[in-house]
Structure 1
C-alpha cells in the first residue's frame, strides 16, 4: 500500500500540515519557526510535554515512599531480599516514564506490591530465626586464629586478594593479626583482632576519660533547631543567653552543637571561634 500525502491547512490558525496518512500529521517546520500555531495546537503540544513530567514526579515520589517504608539502609549493607526489591522497584519505575503508552498504574501497583511483600518478609524474619537464615543467609567465618579457611573462601567465591584488600581498608596489616574474620549476611567483613594487636584503651592504662554526651545541632546557619532544644530541655532564650555572653548573635552562627554534659562547639559564619 503506497503512502500518499496532501497539504492541509488548520482552520484555526491557518498553519500548514503535511498529511502522510489518515492517522499521522506533521506540522510544517515553517509553522513552528514563525510561531503560526494557534492556541489549540500550543495547548496540545504543552499537554504532551506535561504528561511525562507529571509521570516522573509521581513515580519519583512513589519510589521515595517505597524506600522510606522499607527502612534505612546503606546501599552496601542491603540484605539479598532488600537488594532484589530495590532493583525491581527502580526498573518498574523506569518503564512507565520511558513508554507513555503504558498506564501509570502498571508501575505503581507492582511497586506497592513489592513494598508490602518486603515489609511482610521483614516481620516474618523477625519472628522466625530459621526463616531469617533462609531469606538473608548467615555469617560465615573465613579467618580463624590467623588462618584463612580455604573451604569457606571457595564456598563464598572469594579470592585471597579480596580478603587482603578488605583487611587493609580496616587498617589490618596481616592475616596473622586477625583472631576471627566473619563475612556478614550483607557482605561486609567483621574483623576481631588478637589481643596483642588490639588498640590500647583508657581502661588498659587505668585512665578515666572525661565523660561526653551526644552532641546535638542547636543552631544551624543562623537558625535554631527546635527538636534538639527539646531533647536537651532548653529554650531558645537559653541559647540566646549563652551566645550573648560571647557577644554573638544567633544570625551570625554557622554551627553550634551542645551535649547533655554542657560541652559546646561554636563556629561563626566567617570563621571558627
Structure 2
C-alpha cells in the first residue's frame, strides 16, 4: 500500500477513534478541564498524531496506549464521583481571595495571582471596586466567582417580597420550515393553534427558519429572508388598554352617580379591576 494512502487511512481511523473516546469521557472533558484532564487531552492528541504519521509496523501500539489513557481517565472520574477526598486531590479546592470585603494577601500569593489580575477578574464580574465585594474565590477550574455586598446586588422580586411563577424554558416549535410536534405537546399546544398564530402574522410555515413559544404562550418567529420584518401582534396590548378603559369608566360612574349603593358597587368593582390589571400587567405588557 502506498505511504500516502496508508497515512490517509490511519488519520481517518485516528479521528474516528478519538471522537468516540472523547465522547466517552463526557462533556466535562471539553468544557472544564482540570489539571489531570488537561494532561490527558494533550497526551491523547499526541498519541493520535503518532498513529496517523508513524509508518513503522508498531503504530497499532499507539491505539492501545490511547485506550489505556481513556480507561485510566474514566477510572479517575469514577473515583472522583465516589470520594470527595479524591476530588480534592485531583481537582483541588476553591481558594478564598476576598472575605468580608478584605483581600486575602496570602491566598493571592499561594495562587500566584497579582493584584492587577484580581482587579481584571473583578471588573469582568461588574465589580469595579473591592469595597463592593463581600466574598470572592477562585474555583479549581481557575474561574473567579464574586458575591457583591447586599446593597450592590441587583434588585429581584424576592427582595420586594413578590412571589413569581416559575419560568419555563422556551420551546422551539418550528425549525427549518417544519413544525415540531413534540415541543408543541410539551407546552400543551396544537398544530391548529400554531397555524392560527402564523395566519395572524401573515406568514406561511415554509418561510419560518425558527419559531419559539415562551412560557406565556407568545410566538416568536425568525424568517429565512432577513429583510422581511414581522409585524408584532397587538392583541395583548389592546386587551390591556381595554381593561384600563373599563377601570376608568367604573371609577367615573362611581364619581358621577348620586345613588350611594351604586357608588359603593362601582368603587368596589373598580378596585377589583385595578387589582386584576396589576396582576395581568406582567403578561399583557411583555
TM-score tier, shorter chain, comes to 0.7 to 0.9
Which residue is equivalent to 2:141? 186
Q: CA deviation at 1:104?
A: 4.2
Which residue is equivalent to 1:133? 88
Which residue is equivalent to 1:72? 27
Q: 1:203 aligns with which of 140, 145, 158?
A: 158
Which residue is equivalent to 1:166? 121
Q: 1:145 aligns with which of 85, 100, 108?
A: 100
Deviations 1:157-179 (A, max 9, x none): 11111111111111111112111
Structure showing the higher strand proportion among its residues: 1
Which residue is equivalent to 1:41? none
Structure showing the higher helix proportion among its residues: 2
Decide whether the 8 Å contact of 1:218 with 1:256 is kept in 2. Answer: yes
Deviations 1:16-63 (A, max 9, x none): xxxxxxxxxxxxxxxxxxxxxxxxxxxx6xx44322222222211222
Deviations 1:234-269 (A, max 9, x none): 666664454345442222001111245423211222
Question: Structure 2: how far apart are the matches of 1:163 and 1:228?
Answer: 44
Query: 2:158 is paired with a residue of what secondary structure?
Result: helix
TM-score by length of 2: 0.71
Q: Cα 1:266–1:113, aligned 2, differ >3 Å: closer, same or farther?
A: same
Q: Cα 1:51–1:184, aligned 2, differ >3 Å: closer, same or farther?
A: same
Which residue is equivalent to 2:67? 112
Q: CA deviation at 1:208?
A: 5.5
**How many aligned residue pairs are there?**
228
Q: Which runs of 5+ in 1 are unaligned?
A: 1-43
User: Given the alignment of the two structures, is residue 255 of structure 1 paired with residue 210 of structure 2, yes or no?
Assistant: yes
Q: Cα 1:134–1:74, aligned 2, differ >3 Å: closer, same or farther?
A: closer
| 1:220-259 mapped onto 2 (5 Å cutoff) | 220-225=175-180, 228-229=183-184, 231-232=186-187, 239-240=194-195, 242-259=197-214
Query: 2:222 is paired with a residue of what secondary structure?
Result: strand
Which residue is equivalent to 2:130? 175
Deviations 1:88-141 (A, max 9, x none): 111111112232326442222222212221111111111111111111111110
TM-score by length of 1: 0.74
Question: Structure 2: how far apart are the matches of 1:109 and 1:225?
Answer: 44
Q: Cα 1:60–1:256, aligned 2, differ >3 Å: closer, same or farther?
A: same
Query: 1:157 is paired with a residue of what secondary structure?
Result: coil
Q: Cα 1:70–1:250, aligned 2, differ >3 Å: closer, same or farther?
A: same
Coordinate RMSD, CA, aligned: 2.5
Q: Cα 1:232–1:111, aligned 2, differ >3 Å: closer, same or farther?
A: farther
Q: Which runs of 5+ in 2 are unaligned?
A: 231-286
Which residue is equivalent to 2:5? 50
Question: Structure 2: how far apart are the matches of 1:161 and 1:102?
Answer: 53
